[in-house]
């Protein structure tokens, strides 16, 4: 069975799922997106993801030609068409077809694209044994130039950092901000554990405040763990007792080496594993 993709409310075969070469999403990265996980047939934190999509669109003066309810219904319709109950959903909204100039007012209706499929970001061994990452030279975009709260189609900043990580032999990389503080990874948020407290960079460090990040904070607070939002340097990473990354696709993945420094005892930490277990229990219930 060919995978079905929803474009502007219409289901089409993957092979026929196309947009114009004049679409400004392709020409200029002019658009927004969200990645959503589906567990047991239900979107996990779906409302939060859809709210963020609409906020991102509003921030770039892009009017999504659908209501939140309509978008949600189209997502579930696409999942049913592909017979998927555990999946990854990519919702993309582009500015639409326009001219070769930058002017967004020359574009026609925005396009809504919904892709549903399986996803495996990291192999099981990384969750069992931990991940090795590095810090890279490419800095996070300055938040006064482009707000990290906007989940835009232009990911070149992250891609350049990803390339640097891959060239160094690791699959994920940590990006610093203009002040030299830790911001986030190319596709994930970062946490460390130090002296029993859970620490993560604050919003003003130039991060995308991830939905999974928020879930982890809720779980830690449920355990009575002290959660701190503070600026982190590379030194703070190196001396951490534990470290892990969070993201919609990645979920929670332990980190055991940063810049070839062993973190803690070199194995996934106790709190990391506890939070991972709680997260897996949480996702059994969908929204």
Domains for the chain: give ranges and CATH numbers.
Answer: 4-117 (3.30.470.10), 124-283 (3.20.10.10)
In terms of Cα–Cα distance, which of 275, 260, 246 is closest to 187? 246
Query: Rounded to a whole number, what is the distance in angstroms from the first to the last CA of the chain?
Result: 28
Residue 238 has pLDDT above 90, yes or no: yes
Give the per-residue pLDDT at 286: 46
68: annotated active-site residue: no
Q: How far apart are CA 171 and CA 255, in angstroms?
A: 12
User: With bands split at pLDDT 50, 70 and 90, how would you rate the model's confidence at 104?
Assistant: very high
Instruction: Give the residue-averaged pLDDT of 101-122.
Output: 94
Instruction: Give the residue-averaged pLDDT of 104-122.
Output: 93
Q: How far apart are CA 236 and CA 213, in angstroms?
A: 19
The set of long-range contacts for 12-17, using a CB threshold of 8 Å and a minimum separation of 24, is 17/113
* pLDDT over 70 percentage in the chain: 99
Q: How far apart are CA 110 and CA 97, in angstroms?
A: 8
Residue 34 has pLDDT above 70, yes or no: yes
**Arithmetic mean of pLDDT over the chain:** 96
Residue 123 has pLDDT above 80, yes or no: yes
In terms of Cα–Cα distance, which of 176, 173, 157 is closest to 165? 173
Buried b (16+ CB within 10 A) or exposed e, 173-210: bbbbbeeebbbbbbbbbbbbbbeeebbbbeeebbbbeb
Residue among 151, 162, 194, 270 flagged as catalytic: 151
């Amino acid at each position: 069975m060919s995978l079905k993709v929803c474009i502007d409310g219409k289901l089409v075969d993957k092979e026929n799922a196309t947009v114009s070469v004049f679409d400004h999403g392709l020409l200029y990265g002019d658009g927004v997106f969200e990645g959503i996980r589906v567990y047991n047939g239900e979107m996990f934190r779906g409302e939060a993801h859809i709210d963020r999509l609409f906020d991102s669109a509003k921030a770039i003066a892009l009017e999504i030609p659908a209501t939140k309810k309509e978008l949600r219904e189209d997502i579930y319709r696409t999942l049913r068409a592909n017979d998927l109950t555990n999946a990854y959903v990519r919702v993309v909204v582009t500015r639409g077809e326009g001219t070769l100039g930058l002017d967004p007012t020359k574009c026609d209706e925005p396009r809504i694209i919904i892709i549903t499929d399986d996803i495996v970001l990291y192999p099981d061994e990384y969750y069992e044994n931990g991940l090795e990452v590095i810090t890279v030279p490419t800095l996070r975009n300055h938040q006064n130039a482009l707000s990290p709260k906007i989940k835009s189609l232009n990911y070149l900043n992250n891609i350049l950092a990803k390339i640097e990580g891959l060239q160094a032999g690791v699959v994920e990389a940590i990006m610093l901000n203009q002040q030299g503080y830790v911001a986030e990874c190319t596709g994930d948020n970062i946490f460390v554990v130090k002296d029993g407290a859970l620490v993560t960079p604050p919003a003003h460090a130039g991060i995308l405040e991830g939905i999974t990040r928020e879930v982890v904070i809720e779980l830690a607070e449920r355990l009575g763990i002290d959660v701190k939002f503070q600026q982190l340097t590379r030194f703070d990473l190196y001396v951490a007792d534990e470290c892990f990354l969070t993201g919609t696709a990645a979920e929670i993945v332990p980190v055991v080496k940063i810049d070839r420094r062993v973190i803690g005892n070199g194995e996934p930490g106790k709190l990391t594993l506890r939070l991972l277990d709680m997260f897996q229990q949480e996702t059994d219930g969908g929204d």
